[in-house]
């Protein structure tokens, strides 16, 4: 699957309508972003059920700000509308595949129960 450009206009709809969404925050001037781009594209073909989105931080500063992106590239993995992974830095292909495999294995019922418990617990 080819990567999808994510914008302020389509971000929420894409995340809401897909179980697994990866988001690559990048910019054209960023050397590590350019190194990571072909890896990200190649791995996207291995996970046809996932959406591999890209947010150009220069064109979409509102999204970068909303997610407090301080360094690029930053990879975020969202499953069932829950951010399960967020890390700055370009990942090698094997590491990206490992992250995805682990995210797919997570018991989302348990994640939701943990979130519910934390929200109900006093701070």
- In angstroms, the CA 97 to CA 32 distance is 18
> Which of 63-67, 80-84, 113-117 is predicted least confidently?
113-117
pLDDT at 1 over 80: no
Is 30 assigned a catalytic role? yes
- Position 5 scores a pLDDT of 96
Give the pLDDT band of residue 6 (cuts 50, 70, 90): very high
> Which of 60-64, 88-92, 98-102, 111-115 is predicted least confidently?
111-115
- Please state at what angle helix 31-44 crosses helix 93-105, rounded to 10 degrees: 50
pLDDT at 123 over 60: no
Q: What is the mean pLDDT of the chain?
A: 94
Catalytic-role residue among 15, 21, 30, 64: 30
Is 33 assigned a catalytic role? yes
Strand ordering across the sheet containing 82-88: 4-5, 51-56, 20-26, 74-79, 82-88
Catalytic-role residue among 21, 33, 51, 55: 33
pLDDT at 23 over 80: yes
Angstrom CA distances, 116 to 20, 80, 107, 110, stand at 21, 15, 14, 10
Domains and CATH numbers, the chain: 4-120 (3.40.30.10)
């Amino acid at each position: 699957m080819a990567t999808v450009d994510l914008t302020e206009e389509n971000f929420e709809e894409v995340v809401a309508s897909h179980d697994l969404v990866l988001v690559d925050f990048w910019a054209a001037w960023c050397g590590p972003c350019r190194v990571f781009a072909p890896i990200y594209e190649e791995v996207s073909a291995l996970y046809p059920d996932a959406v591999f989105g890209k947010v150009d931080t220069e064109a979409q500063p509102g999204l970068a700000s909303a997610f407090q992106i301080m360094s690029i590239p930053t990879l975020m993995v969202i499953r069932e509308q829950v951010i399960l992974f967020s890390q700055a830095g370009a990942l090698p292909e094997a590491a990206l595949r490992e992250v995805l495999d682990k995210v797919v294995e997570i018991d989302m019922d348990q994640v939701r129960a943990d979130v519910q418990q934390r929200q109900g617990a006093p701070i």
